[in-house]
A = this chain, B = another copy of it.
Amino acid sequence: MFEQASLPRVAVSVDVVGFRLQSGEAGLELQVLLVRRLPPPFAWQWALPGGVLGADERLAACACRLLRERTGGAEFYLEQLYTFDALDRDPRGRTLSVAYYALLRGDAGEAPAERDAADARWWPVRRLPAGGMLAFDHAQVIRAAHERLRGKLDYAPLAFHLLPATFTMTQLRRVYEAIQERSYDPTNFPRAMLARFPGLAPVVGERDRTSKRPARVYRYEAPPA
């Protein structure tokens, strides 16, 4: 009854910045998932996983779908980042990009059900391919996602999504040190975390025995609303 006759419509795509942490040359490094484009425009260049929004598809669902195609069944945290709208961001014509960012566990995408197989790779954020010359405005999108992650890390429970369900305080501290690019006092850090995040609590019986002295193991459970 309210059908729109001929409103101007624009193409809308969704792009996902998938982050994970992996041990690189100098300790943990933040990595982002990129895929090599096959069709033009920007053929053979690296780009974020992206695609066109389905007519009856939710934005977040679309982002989930795009990311799962590249990482298999891994779980992740997903959040809307920003809507990019430069007129010339896609040479094919006006295309809005609603960007999301995702946080995955460090081992995610290792044995991926990657339909597109070898043309998906994790890249260190500090060393993007071709000096950061990515397709579309994706270098800018990654910068924005990185800034958002850094800004929210201190007050939002984001770091836990980059770790397994249970973890030691040292592991958690390494996550913060890798993303904020500074060091934290190992003795004060646990106190600060426990004070800031009520959902963070030690798992009673369990201990981590990978280092000399067995370390306490923690779990984060999101508090009810």
Contacts and interface: CB of A to CB of B under 8 A. Distances in A.
A56 B93 CA distance: 10
Interface stretch (A5-13, A30-38, A67-75, A124-132): A5-13
B40 A59 contact: no
A144 to B, nearest CB: 11
Nearest to A13: B7
Contacts of A54: 8
A219 interface: no
B93 A4 contact: yes
Contacts of A139: none
A91 B2 contact: yes
Q: How many copies altogether?
A: 2
A82 B9 CA distance: 19
22 contacts: A2-B92, A2-B93, A3-B92, A3-B93, A7-B11, A8-B54, A8-B55, A9-B10, A9-B11, A9-B12, A10-B12, A10-B53, A10-B55, A55-B94, A56-B94, A58-B85, A58-B86, A59-B96, A80-B82, A80-B83, A83-B98, A85-B98
- In order of increasing CB-CB distance, the 10 nearest A-B pairs are A9-B9, A2-B92, A59-B85, A4-B92, A83-B83, A7-B11, A8-B55, A2-B91, A2-B41, A83-B98
Contacts of A64: none
A82 B85 CA distance: 13
Interface residue tally of chain A, by bracket? Answer: 20 to 34
A87 B58 CA distance: 7
A66 interface: no
Contacts of A10: 9-10, 12, 53, 55
Interface in A81-126: 82-83, 85-87, 91-94, 96, 98
Contacts of A59: 83, 85, 96
Contact of A8 (B1, B52, B87): B52
A12 B59 CA distance: 13
Contacts of A56: 87, 94
A92 B3 CA distance: 5
A11 B4 contact: yes
